[in-house]
């Protein structure tokens, strides 16, 4: 993820157990946790308050999918409001994606996201969806595998204080290398 963000023109800072407590998180426009970061880094629970304070003060925390199973369950609280992580997924890479709130900022800033952005997807669309979310969350996408009911937990977001918390199960294939699967923090240039 860090490399992709840098290619897009963002400055990226990698945060981990030693750097997270010493950085002024308020200087970052967004903090993105890597895939399964909460499954593999139990220490992240220690920084829940700092991350929620960052969001409350105007930051944007984006949590990429984690899994909930017997081997790697999430023991940490992740968001400002309750939600669970399910085993729900959309495996058909061509499954129809419906943007439920096309005027939402997520789909309009820093660039416009449309149906075309879901064309030529490789592999599955999304995994480990959010479920049972608090009413403060808003689901933004709906999609379904052929012959199955629509799923709305692949992208949920909530306003918290002045900032935003987002959980996504969308599968972005080119992800952080293993050494960077903790936190990527970036700010716009």
55 vs 159: CA distance, rounded Å? 9
Residue 42 CA from chain centroid, whole number? 18
DSSP-derived pairing of the beta strands 183-187 and 30-33: antiparallel
- Domain tally, the chain: 1
C-alpha 30/C-alpha 60 separation (Å) is 5
pLDDT in tens, 50-90: 999 999 999 999 999 888 765 555 667 899 999 999 999 99
Q: What is the pLDDT along the chain (189 residues), one digit of tens a residue?
A: 677 777 778 888 888 889 898 999 999 999 998 888 888 888 888 899 999 999 999 999 999 988 876 555 566 789 999 999 999 999 999 999 999 999 999 998 888 899 988 888 888 899 999 999 999 999 999 999 999 999 999 999 999 999 999 999 998 754 444 443 445 554 432
Residue 171 and residue 158 in contact, taking contact as beta carbons nearer than 8 Å: no
Strand partners for 163:
160
Host domain of residue 8 = 2-187
Q: Are 13 and 121 in contact (CB under 8 A)?
A: no
How far apart (Å, rounded) are the C-alpha atoms in residues 175 and 161? Answer: 29
Angle at 25 between CA 22 and CA 26, to 5 degrees: 135
Q: What is the CATH number of the domain that holds 35?
A: 3.40.50
138, with CB counted inside 10 A (0-12, 13-18, 19+), is middle
């Amino acid at each position: 993820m860090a490399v992709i963000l840098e290619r897009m023109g963002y400055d990226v800072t990698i945060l981990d157990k030693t750097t997270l407590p010493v950085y002024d998180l308020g200087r970052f426009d967004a903090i993105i946790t890597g895939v399964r970061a909460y499954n593999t880094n139990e220490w992240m629970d220690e920084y829940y308050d700092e991350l929620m304070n960052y969001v409350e003060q105007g930051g944007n925390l984006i949590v990429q999918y984690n899994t909930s199973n017997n081997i790697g369950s999430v023991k940490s609280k992740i968001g400002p409001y309750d939600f669970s992580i399910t085993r729900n997924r959309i495996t058909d890479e061509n499954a129809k994606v419906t943007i439920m709130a096309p005027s939402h900022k997520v789909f309009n800033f820093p660039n416009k996201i449309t149906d075309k952005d879901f064309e030529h997807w490789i592999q599955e669309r999304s995994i480990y969806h959010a479920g049972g979310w608090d009413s403060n969350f808003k689901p933004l996408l709906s999609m379904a595998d052929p012959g199955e009911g629509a799923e709305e937990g692949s992208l949920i977001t909530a306003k918290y204080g002045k900032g935003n918390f987002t959980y996504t199960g969308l599968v972005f294939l080119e992800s952080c290398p293993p050494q960077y699967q903790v936190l990527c923090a970036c700010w716009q240039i």
